[in-house]
Amino acid sequence: MAYDSVFKPGLFSGQTILVTGGGSGIGRCVAHELAHLGAHVVLVGRKAEKLEATAGEIIEDGGSASWQACDIRDEEAVKAMVKAVVAERGPIHHLVNNAGGQFPAPLIGINQKGFETVVRTNLVGGFLVAKEVFLQSMSKTGGSIVNMLADMWGGMPGMGHSGAARAGMENFTKTAAYEWGHAGVRVNAVAPGWIASSGMDTYPESMKSMIRSLKDHVPLQRIGTESEVAAAIVFLLSPGANFISGNTIRIDGAASQGTRAWTLGKARASESYNGFHRAYMPAVFKDEE
């Protein structure tokens, strides 16, 4: 089997695309689709075993991939990683700034170290990678960047550290789009809502019933797939988005709109798109079956 993309074959042939957080979850899915569309994908993350496994999957499927282990919170490590990629592959045509992480906790349950760790991962790390990719490659050759946000417009109760970081990343996206546009660099973002991804299995047992009920708070009455996030990212990287910069696409089934005062109607006809042939259902939903 192969990735069932809605985009034309060979869309990114001959191009090098760097995907942070590419060893698991949404990043893994995005990397597979980009490789299926002809790109050489460079997977970046802290855990070499995950990166190696995903690169192996892509190569087994007939795609082209390599990986670089790097802590994106370390500025010198990021500089060295980007330098190594450019030396090996030449220009970096696109960057998917996907890496991130957080843990559930109310604000009063987060200490300074925990808050700063999440902000460094979800905001500072993304800034460092984007800046180095721009300085070492895109400032000379142009390119496009897609940053990863989240549904944080109404605040993020239970994950205030991540909400603060993602809000900062949205503003960074706008600023970078304006400052770097002269070099032919586009910068956009995606903001997934509730997506069936492996990250859901990292949350504690006490949150399982809440996770299963998330679909009840989405107007489309379901949660999204990794493929639906990947498709939006691929579009923003594609030539079809060549005059789109500084924008954010919300991928949340309209969950970030309206208020709880409005009663949602009964679900009828929202079909999910899942083109990822290697996708798997998070265990939290398997337990429900």
pLDDT tens per residue across span 24-43: 999 999 999 999 999 999 99
pLDDT for res 287: 58
Say if residues 2 and 30 touch (Cβ distance below 8 Å): no
User: For the chain, which domains are there?
Assistant: 16-285 (3.40.50.720)
State which amino acid sits at residue 78: V
pLDDT cut 70: percent of the chain above it? 97
Give the burial class of 271: count Cβ atoms within 10 A of its Cβ; 0-12 exposed, 13-18 middle, 19 or more buried. exposed
Coil, helix or strand at residue 156: coil
- Give this prediction's pTM: 0.93
* Structure confidence at residue 263 (pLDDT): 75
> Is residue 288 pLDDT above 60, yes or no?
no
Mean local confidence (pLDDT), 182-187 = 98
